[in-house]
Structure 1
């Protein structure tokens, strides 16, 4: 497993729950509490041990933990900016998820995110299927989509249904989304 994912678990735990929780979880999971390395390759068991230790320590289900991690990801400015390049509105963003696997590999070679298949079901309603055996990706994606919908200022209903996610866009102007301008991002950097 790419160190980017394991490091993300660490950063989430430190940011949302504090250094003491990270220290306890990493000890429970048998991971170096001093921190993980971004570009190192880890056995997938390390991530699973972190998920199990964190859900136990935080007294939440594994699915809740994974969804919280997914919802936290769009709060990272650099990630949010990269994701916002994927679509000028939330609907375009959802439709661009088919390309996420390949785009992630361009940014971080070796990062093997699962492929996502997006299929329109009705007007403003999409079915997302993940081409991976690991069901753990669904709650992460659900939280991530909810976080991105908030960033766009959109009310989106994201539900797990029969081994997939259904995304329904209920209101494009539900709240004031985060300000994002491609031109502003190019000139700010």
Structure 2
């Protein structure tokens, strides 16, 4: 009789476990599966000890083998019910492991996608930085070219001014020599 409750417990527990799997966290479900397995093992030990007790009690009856066979049948039904409980708990564990694997795969895919986005963003940042560096180098080169042009222009202007001064000085000198020659020619 006691073993019929075990089968009824298993029948009630398994549908509950499916709903439980959808609503709860992985650790909680794994703990629940371990508790179910422990309960099934405890019930199996109780069924085995009950069988041993009944087997000894059967020795006092007239139809010993019938009594032992009946006790063995009860033990077998209890074992089947406990195995059903264990299978349900193991299925719950497998489901959790499948969900964890799927979550890990999803995380890896999300990480890969994020890494790809990050890589694309880094490549864009590097390209933008390279363009900015190129623009800055071009601007520096253009400024230096303007400065060199301006410096060359100033140099040319200074050279031209210097040349004008030299020519003016040469003219003055020539005029002074011409005046001195003209004075010397007048004095002679």
Bin of the TM-score, shorter chain as denominator length: under 0.3
**Structure with the bigger percentage of helix:** 2
**Structure with the bigger percentage of strand:** 1
Larger radius of gyration: 2
The higher-RCO structure (CA 8 Å, 6+ apart) is: 2
TM-score (norm 1): 0.22
TM-score (norm 2): 0.22
